[in-house]
């Protein structure tokens, strides 16, 4: 009776904010921010929530998920697809997200070369035989520079309402801190990793001795990456089945870079053209609408006009009108920061826009025909 | 032009407007701005685009089951009913799952004389191809619907789902489940199956799976189910969902001149049509902008300056749909909050306060660089079952614009550059459509999914025969003209022929600015040249020079307009809308005189100036009450009514219904009124009053009341049909009853819809062409529960012609379908601003014009003294 009452009390007390699963994911996110891994794999990715969170981390270029259950992955995998906006404004970095269907007890070459491998609440779902193979697959074969393993801390269970044996019916075991740490230390020793223990889900005051609700081991590989070695060890066979793959548009891809550059060049050229024409017009005609443009709202708007003033200095860089055509030297366009940043070099700029933008006969300037536009109006 | 604004408001791509009729197209470029295209910003206030457009979600895989869910929740009692399930009113479901196809509305059953047949007979037969594909299912195919109960009760849908699919062996992997209703392609052995699952807390749960229904292929639930499945397929093909449709991001067409990007894609729907369940696929183009809302705000600031900046932002942005950088949702901008910025905080679900900057940084790794930008506000929407509390705040820097702004729409160059990519000729359109079907048939995953459900699509699109009604004879002052049916235009034929009735232009003002003195003279001279042959008597105008300021125009009007003034012509030098609005407002309300605004630029080209003057002369004559031509209308004592709506969300948030009614047998004179109302009000009451005054006016003109009334009702949004049937029609009847006890005219109400995805192609040799004007289709692709038909009335020069859909929702006329179809087609010949056939019956086009003028410029009901003239042309 007394015991029951006590449990009742805790049911009210034990409520994690943010929820424990979020805390676990946040832990990984913080780790990613810290180590800036380029390739991250999540083993037991389930509904891909962690992968989805990680896709926003700009350091990551390769994301992979692995799960034994294809349908749970499929349920929400489309949220790993690029968004329309990713196409509208391709990112600097490249990003590929792949989901594999398979078991952590099997080796597949697609899991080689990762910087960080996470196993969040995974090992307790493994059958004994799988658990035995797990260290060799992850630490021996995949051998990433960092591995994170989280699992329930069974010492905390008495504080959780309704937990009789395990927290989830599919759990094959739940370890106390001692059990987990000795397992982890043994692996670390065997595969030349160091390991540190931490956790998420603080125990309530007065019960600190039970430790975190979720215990976490962070393994760091002690030896440097030996890319060549893994290549030679590469097993020929792929055993995982790819269920999803998304390649994000990136400026590293020539196609997207070209689109972006052509777009930016034409847009920039038009701004220059317009301001040139406006200037010419205002010299000739009475200005219809002379509004003073001073304001508190000082956005980077003025950069257009200011940049123009600053940038268009050299005589060779000045845009000019000849007959019905407006010529805007590529050099001028190249001096705009956005174009500059995209192309890097002037030669690259010329190469990228070749055939895509109307140029003067010597190829040094963008040409607009002013006549035809007015004609149509 | 007519369908454009709504199309935009619903986030539809311009592809839908490709076949916009040439209504007033010539005039569009010549006289300003009553014809300026695409200035309209209407919005069906109750059809927010993103509501239905919400993707079931990248994040929340709600798709397949949202529909039954609502049925299940709302009407648990229905679940027990096996027969009669199809009667489930789908129309009354609100919110996100609006019935956009007006599925539950069966209007044909109440119209006695079309029970047997609703097809017409006249015209010549034409072979037609379409964009429809039959959905086929195995013989005896059925979808099995189960109710799933939990004991003890489980609340969370995900948990319910997880518990249920611990029994995948029993249920199979092909399923759709929404937490309470389960759909399977197979029948479980027992009617009631009990299984046990265990929660992660070790609690045992009894799950009872009860067969509630065997759904035949055409049941509404199945239809919704098909649509969901098809969307799954599109997703599998890696198409991106934006709004309601799916687009292919791999080959975008970029138009860097305007920072636009066009994604080709598809719009699709699966419905029960006349003979079978079919998939309708059309090519759709999504216009996206490679700039953020913040970029846009910056450049706007640069363009308009401080003073009009905020107003300009509101005008350009409100009503637009944006995409965010961090999720795949679309939001409509309802307001801009200049008092807030990204540093403001909000309360998260867990109760903690966080600033927008920090939130987006933390959650999505999105940097907000401009901390002084205002925030965008998107009004609260109901999403699925959960209610989003309060308005949603969006950060301009993290939002991308979609679609076109009004300014772009009125920019000829933008539209021209777009048209190149979006106006696909029939052949190419059909090819794109077939490509999708090909993908569907070739993709293994897609095929597997379809096989698992026992469904497949025909590989060839549906083709059948339609009819082409003969062109009408145009009567003008005792002369009869035929026109070339291919072009559906008789401007050449009737040039220089006297009008039926011409109003003398003997006391009129011509107001111009000094700069336009030459233009004014040019106009005058050319009018003198062209008017005599039309039979218009014209005197020299009172020429008045004004300063180019709005107030100057107004003062001149106040001083110079006399009771004898018949017409005021204003020559404007720029397309500044405020001047136009002020002039129209004054001359339509305070001082009711027909007026004509002309943009000086249109008179600047010597080679076209005669044609322009001709147009203006005709238009002015109509505005003063003159009559141009007519067609033969055998039906006697009939009053034709046209109604269209304009929804203004940008300012005022009001809706305007334009109402016009014919006054004479020849359909050359029209009475008009309009109803202005604020958001949320029903149009019905106002329309009733309109009909009453129209009947009174008719009586004045004819000394008797019409024995038949035919109402063409345009401006009905998707899913609003039941409102029309249940409220508007009864109000019309009420109104007629109130006229007198013995008065019992025959009433026909026809809903006109321009924005349909149906396309017809006419095979010609090995190629496909647009079907000729006059093509009528009343088989196969119509709906069995409606008395409906399609007419292609207009001719288009580029792209695909869009047929107009007519749905007779109420009819006591006993007129044969053939007669209704012919009458409708005849009326498409009667729009005086275009000497050709237009896309909708003239009364609809007039009503549209009126509502547009009032909504854009006048904002209140014009003076009734003008009501018997086409002053709004």
Whole-complex ipTM: 0.75
Mean pLDDT of B574-595: 89
* Higher pLDDT among residues A204 and A311, named by residue: A204
B629 — pLDDT class (breaks 50, 70, 90): very high
A301 — pLDDT class (breaks 50, 70, 90): very low
- Tokens 């190469």 sit at which residue? A351
Concerning whether B285 is annotated as a catalytic residue, the answer is: no
CATH fold match for the domains A20-248 and A253-281+312-376: no
- Tokens 């209308």 sit at which residue? B633
Domain boundary among B602, B624, B646: B624
Q: What does CATH list as the number for A20-248?
A: 3.40.50.150
How much is the mean pLDDT over chain B? 81
Q: Is pLDDT above 70 for B837?
A: yes
Residues B254 and B356 in one domain: no
Phi, psi of B511, deg, nearest 5: -110, 130
B659 — pLDDT class (breaks 50, 70, 90): very high
The pLDDT score that the predictor gives to residue B300 is 84
Q: Which residues of A touch B363 (CB under 8 A)?
A: 56
Q: Is pLDDT above 60 for B509?
A: yes
pLDDT tens for residues B293-350? 998 888 888 778 788 888 888 888 888 888 888 887 888 888 889 988 898 888 877 7
Domains of chain A by residue range: 20-248, 253-281+312-376
- Note the pTM of the prediction, 2 decimals: 0.78
Decide if A319 contacts A276 (C-beta within 8 A). yes
**Least trusted range by pLDDT, from A8-17, B134-143, B488-497:** A8-17
Asked if A84 has any chain B CB less than 8 Å from its own CB, the reply is yes
- Alpha helices of B367-456 — where are they, by DSSP H? 406-409, 412-422, 426-442, 444-453
- Report chain B's terminal Cα–Cα distance, integer Å: 14
Q: Is residue B573 part of a domain?
A: yes
**Contacts of residue A282, Cβ cutoff 8 Å, sequence gap at least 6:** none
The pLDDT score that the predictor gives to residue B109 is 92
Mean pLDDT of B226-235: 83
How far is Cα A147 from Cα A115, in angstroms, rounded to an integer?
8
Q: Kind of pairing, strands B567-572 and B345-347?
A: unpaired
Q: Is pLDDT above 50 for B207?
A: yes
Q: Which residues of B touch A83 (CB under 8 A)?
A: 240, 323, 325-328
Token pair belonging to B121: 């007979």
Decide if B527 contacts B616 (C-beta within 8 A). yes
How far is Cα B790 from Cα B792, in angstroms, rounded to an integer?
7
Tell me how many helices (H) and strands (E) chain A has.
14, 11
Closest CA to B773 of B849, B693, B834: B834
Residue contact B370–A294, C-beta within 8 A: no
**Least trusted range by pLDDT, from A232-246, A322-336, B12-26:** B12-26
CATH for B188 = 3.30.70
A10 — pLDDT class (breaks 50, 70, 90): very low
CA distance A190 to chain B (A): 34
Q: Kind of pairing, strands B463-468 and B455-457?
A: unpaired
Counted domains in chain B: 5
Using a pLDDT cut of 70, give the percent of chain A over it: 81
Q: Is residue B79 part of a domain?
A: no
Helix, coil or strand: residue A239: coil
Residues B662 and B740 in one domain: yes
The pLDDT score that the predictor gives to residue A298 is 40
How far is Cα B848 from Cα B657, in angstroms, rounded to an integer?
8
The pLDDT score that the predictor gives to residue B565 is 92
**Least trusted range by pLDDT, from A21-25, A48-52, B289-293:** B289-293
Q: Kind of pairing, strands A116-120 and A39-43?
A: parallel
Residues B848 and B831 in one domain: yes
Q: Is pLDDT above 60 for B41?
A: no
Q: Is pLDDT above 80 for B265?
A: yes
Q: What does CATH list as the number for A253-281+312-376?
A: 1.10.10
Residues B709 and B843 in one domain: yes
Q: Which residues of B touch A377 (CB under 8 A)?
A: 412, 601
A241 has which bridge partners? A101
Q: Is pLDDT above 90 for A131?
A: yes
Closest CA to B622 of B1, B21, B34, B20: B34
Residues B739 and B829 in one domain: yes
The pLDDT score that the predictor gives to residue A313 is 45
Q: Is pLDDT above 70 for A290?
A: no
**Least trusted range by pLDDT, from B363-372, B521-530, B699-708:** B363-372
Residues B384 and B313 in one domain: yes
Residues B543 and B615 in one domain: yes
Asked if A169 has any chain B CB less than 8 Å from its own CB, the reply is yes
Q: Is pLDDT above 80 for A210?
A: yes
**Contacts of residue A267, Cβ cutoff 8 Å, sequence gap at least 6:** B256, B257, B259
How far is Cα B446 from Cα B459, in angstroms, rounded to an integer?
14
pLDDT tens for residues B51-101? 233 333 333 333 333 333 333 333 333 332 222 222 222 222 333 345 677
Residues B242 and B379 in one domain: no
- Tokens 């640069």 sit at which residue? B302
Mean pLDDT of A185-200: 95
Token pair belonging to B867: 């009501």
* Buried b or exposed e, range B351-374, using 16+ CB within 10 angstroms: eeebbbbebbeeebbbebeeeebb
CA distance A44 to chain B (A): 17
Q: Which residues of A touch B297 (CB under 8 A)?
A: 299
Concerning whether B848 is annotated as a catalytic residue, the answer is: yes
Q: Kind of pairing, strands B335-337 and B474-476?
A: unpaired
CA distance B299 to chain A (A): 6
* Higher pLDDT among residues B388 and B110, named by residue: B110
How far is Cα B389 from Cα B862, in angstroms, rounded to an integer?
40
pLDDT tens for residues B424-433? 899 999 988 9
How much is the mean pLDDT over chain A? 81
**Least trusted range by pLDDT, from A156-170, A180-194, B114-128, B817-831:** A156-170
Domain boundary among B624, B649, B674: B624
CATH for B535 = 3.40.50.2300
Q: Which residues of A touch B328 (CB under 8 A)?
A: 79, 83-84
Q: Is residue B676 part of a domain?
A: yes
Residues B835 and B717 in one domain: yes
Q: Is pLDDT above 80 for B706?
A: yes
The pLDDT score that the predictor gives to residue B202 is 66
Token pair belonging to B96: 């996100």
Residues B199 and B242 in one domain: no
Closest CA to B824 of B472, B475, B494: B472
Residue tagged active-site, from B147, B175, B258, B848: B848
Q: Which residues of B touch A59 (CB under 8 A)?
A: none
Work out the burial of residue B224: count CB atoms within 10 Å of its CB; fewer than 13 is exposed, 13-18 middle, 19 or more buried. Answer: buried
Q: Which of B261, B372, B412 sits opposite A377 (nearest CB)?
A: B412
How far is Cα B852 from Cα B849, in angstroms, rounded to an integer?
5
Q: Is residue B210 part of a domain?
A: yes
The pLDDT score that the predictor gives to residue B27 is 34
Residue B442: CB atoms within 10 Å: 10
Q: Is pLDDT above 80 for A2?
A: no
CA distance B364 to chain A (A): 5
Q: Which of A76, A81, A291 sits opposite B307 (nearest CB)?
A: A291
Helix (H) or strand (E) holding B616: helix B609-623
How far is Cα B85 from Cα B82, in angstroms, rounded to an integer?
6
Residues B809 and B673 in one domain: yes
Residue contact B413–A373, C-beta within 8 A: yes
The pLDDT score that the predictor gives to residue A236 is 59
Concerning whether B682 is annotated as a catalytic residue, the answer is: yes
* Higher pLDDT among residues B711 and A209, named by residue: B711
Q: Which residues of A touch B173 (CB under 8 A)?
A: 71
The pLDDT score that the predictor gives to residue B846 is 96
CATH for B336 = 2.170.260.10
Domain boundary among B624, B652, B671: B624
The pLDDT score that the predictor gives to residue B12 is 34
A283 — pLDDT class (breaks 50, 70, 90): low
Asked if A338 has any chain B CB less than 8 Å from its own CB, the reply is no
Query: Which one of A56, A69, A88 makes the best mutation probe of the B interface by having the most chain B beta carbons within 10 Å?
Result: A88
Residue B194: CB atoms within 10 Å: 12
Helix, coil or strand: residue A30: helix
The domain of B580 spans 502-624
Using a pLDDT cut of 90, give the percent of chain B over it: 39
Residues B400 and B428 in one domain: no
Phi-psi sector, B814: left (phi>0), alpha (psi -120 to 50), beta: left
Residue contact B200–A169, C-beta within 8 A: yes
Establish how many alpha carbons lie within 13 A of residue B498's alpha carbon, considering only the half-sphere containing its beta carbon: 11
Q: Is pLDDT above 90 for B819?
A: yes
Residue contact A81–B302, C-beta within 8 A: no
How far is Cα B96 from Cα B117, in angstroms, rounded to an integer?
36
The pLDDT score that the predictor gives to residue B72 is 34
Decide if B60 contacts B128 (C-beta within 8 A). no
CA distance B221 to chain A (A): 22
Concerning whether B102 is annotated as a catalytic residue, the answer is: no
Residue tagged active-site, from B627, B644, B778, B780: B644
Asked if A291 has any chain B CB less than 8 Å from its own CB, the reply is yes
Query: Which one of B164, B256, B259, B329 makes the best mutation probe of the A interface by having the most chain A beta carbons within 10 Å?
Result: B256
pLDDT tens for residues A87-120? 888 888 899 999 999 999 999 999 999 999 999 9
How far is Cα A271 from Cα A308, in angstroms, rounded to an integer?
9
Mean pLDDT of B109-119: 92
Q: Is pLDDT above 50 for A158?
A: yes
Q: Is residue B38 part of a domain?
A: no
Mean pLDDT of A150-167: 84
Decide if B502 contacts B617 (C-beta within 8 A). no
Residue B832: CB atoms within 10 Å: 23
CA distance A19 to chain B (A): 9
DSSP class per residue in B37-63? TT------TT--HHHHHS-S-SS---G
């Amino acid at each position: 009776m007394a015991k029951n009452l006590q449990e009742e009390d805790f049911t009210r007390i034990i409520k994690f904010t943010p929820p424990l699963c979020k805390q676990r994911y946040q832990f990984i996110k913080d780790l990613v921010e810290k180590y800036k891994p380029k390739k991250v794999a999540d083993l037991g990715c389930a509904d891909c929530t962690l992968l989805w969170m990680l896709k926003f981390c700009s350091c990551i270029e390769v994301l992979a998920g692995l799960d034994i259950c294809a349908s749970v992955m499929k349920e929400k995998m489309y949220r790993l697809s690029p968004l329309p906006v990713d196409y509208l404004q391709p990112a600097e970095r490249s990003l590929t997200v792949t989901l594999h269907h398979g078991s952590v007890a099997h080796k597949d070459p697609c899991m080689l070369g990762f910087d960080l491998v996470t196993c969040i609440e995974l090992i307790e779902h493994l059958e004994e035989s799988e658990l035995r193979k797990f260290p060799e697959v992850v630490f021996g074969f995949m051998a990433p520079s960092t591995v994170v393993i989280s699992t329930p801390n069974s010492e905390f269970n008495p504080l959780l309402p309704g937990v009789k044996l395990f927290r989830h019916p599919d759990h094959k075991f739940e370890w106390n801190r001692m059990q987990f740490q000795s397992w982890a230390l043994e692996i670390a020793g065997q595969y030349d990793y160091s390991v540190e223990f931490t956790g998420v889900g603080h125990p309530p005051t007065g019960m600190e001795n039970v430790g975190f609700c979720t215990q976490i081991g962070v393994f760091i590989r002690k030896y440097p990456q030996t890319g060549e070695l893994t290549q030679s060890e590469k097993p020929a066979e792929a055993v995982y089945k790819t269920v999803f793959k998304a390649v994000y548009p990136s400026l590293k891809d020539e196609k997207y870079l070209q689109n972006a550059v052509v777009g930016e060049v034409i847009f920039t050229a038009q701004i220059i053209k317009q301001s040139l024409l406006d200037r010419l017009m205002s010299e000739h005609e009475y200005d219809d609408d002379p509004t003073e443009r001073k304001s508190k709202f000082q956005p980077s708007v003025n950069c257009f006009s200011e940049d123009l003033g600053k940038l268009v200095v050299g005589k060779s860089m000045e845009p000019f009108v000849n007959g019905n055509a407006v010529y805007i030297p590529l050099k001028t366009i190249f001096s705009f920061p956005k174009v500059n940043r995209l192309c890097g070099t002037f030669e690259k700029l010329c190469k990228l826009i070749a055939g895509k933008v109307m140029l003067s006969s010597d190829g040094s300037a963008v040409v607009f025909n002013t006549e035809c536009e007015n004609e149509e109006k | 032009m007519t369908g454009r604004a709504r199309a935009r408001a619903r986030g539809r791509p311009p592809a839908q407007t490709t076949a916009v009729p040439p209504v007033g197209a010539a005039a569009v470029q010549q006289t300003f701005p009553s014809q300026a295209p695409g200035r309209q910003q209407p919005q069906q206030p109750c059809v927010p685009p993103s509501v239905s457009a919400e993707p079931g979600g990248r994040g929340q895989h709600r798709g397949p089951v949202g529909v039954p869910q609502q049925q299940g929740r709302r009407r648990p009692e229905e679940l027990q009913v096996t027969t009669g399930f199809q009667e489930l009113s789908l129309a009354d479901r609100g919110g996100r799952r609006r019935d956009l196809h007006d599925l539950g509305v069966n209007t044909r059953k109440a119209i006695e004389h079309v029970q047997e047949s609703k097809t017409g007979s006249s015209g010549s037969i034409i072979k037609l191809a379409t964009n429809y594909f039959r959905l086929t299912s195995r013989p005896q195919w059925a979808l099995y619907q189960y109710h799933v109960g939990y004991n003890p009760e489980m609340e969370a849908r995900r948990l319910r789902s997880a518990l249920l699919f611990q029994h995948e062996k029993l249920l199979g992997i092909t399923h759709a489940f929404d937490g309470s209703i389960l759909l399977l392609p197979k029948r479980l052995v027992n009617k009631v199956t009990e299984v046990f699952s265990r929660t992660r807390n070790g609690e045992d749960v009894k799950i009872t799976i009860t067969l509630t229904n065997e759904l035949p292929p055409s049941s509404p639930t199945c239809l919704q189910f098909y649509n969901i499945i098809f969307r799954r397929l599109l997703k599998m093909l890696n198409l991106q969902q934006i709004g309601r449709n799916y687009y292919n991001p791999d080959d975008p067409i970029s138009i860097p001149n305007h920072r636009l990007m066009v994604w080709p894609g598809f719009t699709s729907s699966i419905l029960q049509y006349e003979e079978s369940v079919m998939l309708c696929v059309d090519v759709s183009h999504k216009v996206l902008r490679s700039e953020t809302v913040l970029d846009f705000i910056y450049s706007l600031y640069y363009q308009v300056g401080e003073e009009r900046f905020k107003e300009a932002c509101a005008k350009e942005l409100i009503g637009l749909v944006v995409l965010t950088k961090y999720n795949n949702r679309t939001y409509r901008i309802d307001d801009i909050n200049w008092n807030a910025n990204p540093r403001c905080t909000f309360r998260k679900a867990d109760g903690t306060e966080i600033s927008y900057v920090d939130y987006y940084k933390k959650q999505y790794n999105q940097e907000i660089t401009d901390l002084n930008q205002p925030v965008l506000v998107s009004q609260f929407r109901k999403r699925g079952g959960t209610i989003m509390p309060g308005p949603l705040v969006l950060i301009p820097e993290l939002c991308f614009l979609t679609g076109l702004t009004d300014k772009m729409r009125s920019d000829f160059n933008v539209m021209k550059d777009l048209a190149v990519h979006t106006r696909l000729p029939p052949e190419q359109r059909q090819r794109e459509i077939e490509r999708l079907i090909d993908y569907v048939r070739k993709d293994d995953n897609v095929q597997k999914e379809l096989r698992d459900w026992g469904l497949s699509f025909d590989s060839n699109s549906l083709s059948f025969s339609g009819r082409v009604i003969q062109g009408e004879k145009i009567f003008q002052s005792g002369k009869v003209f035929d026109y070339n049916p291919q072009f559906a235009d008789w401007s050449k034929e009737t040039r220089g022929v006297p009008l039926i009735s011409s109003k003398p232009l003997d006391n009129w003002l011509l107001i111009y600015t000094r700069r336009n003195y030459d233009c004014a003279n040019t106009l005058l001279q050319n009018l003198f040249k062209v008017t005599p042959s039309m039979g218009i008597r014209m005197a020299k105008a009172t020429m008045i020079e004004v300063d180019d300021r709005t107030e100057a125009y107004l003062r001149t009007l106040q001083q110079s307009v006399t009771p004898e003034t018949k017409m005021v012509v204003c020559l404007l030098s720029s397309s500044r809308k405020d001047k136009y609005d002020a002039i129209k407002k004054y001359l339509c309300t305070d001082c009711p005189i027909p007026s004509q605004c002309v943009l000086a630029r249109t008179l600047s080209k010597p080679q076209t100036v005669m044609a322009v003057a001709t147009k203006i002369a005709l238009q002015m004559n109509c505005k003063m009450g003159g009559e141009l031509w007519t067609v033969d209308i055998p039906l006697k004592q009939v009053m034709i009514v046209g109604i269209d709506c304009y929804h203004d969300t940008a300012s005022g948030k009001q809706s305007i219904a334009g109402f016009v009614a014919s006054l004479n047998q020849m359909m050359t004179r029209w009475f008009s009124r309009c109803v202005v109302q604020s958001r949320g009000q029903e149009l019905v009451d106002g329309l009733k009053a309109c009909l009453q005054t129209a009947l009174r006016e008719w009586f004045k003109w004819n000394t008797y009341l019409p024995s038949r009334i035919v109402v063409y009702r345009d401006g009905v949004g998707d899913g609003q049909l039941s409102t029309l049937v249940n409220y508007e029609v009864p109000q019309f009847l009420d109104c007629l009853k109130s006229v007198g006890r013995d008065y019992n005219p025959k009433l026909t109400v026809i809903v006109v819809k321009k924005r349909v995805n149906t396309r017809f192609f006419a095979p010609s040799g090995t190629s496909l062409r647009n079907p000729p004007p006059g093509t009528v289709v009343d088989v196969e692709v119509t709906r069995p529960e409606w008395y409906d038909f399609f007419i292609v009335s207009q001719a288009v020069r580029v792209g695909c012609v869009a047929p107009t859909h007519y749905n007779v929702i109420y009819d006591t006329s006993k007129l044969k379908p053939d007669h209704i179809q012919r009458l409708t087609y005849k009326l498409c010949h009667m729009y005086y601003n275009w000497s050709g056939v237009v896309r909708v019956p003239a009364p609809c086009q007039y009503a549209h014009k009126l509502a547009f003028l009032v909504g854009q410029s006048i904002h209140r009901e014009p003076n009734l003294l003008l009501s018997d003239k086409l002053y709004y042309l």
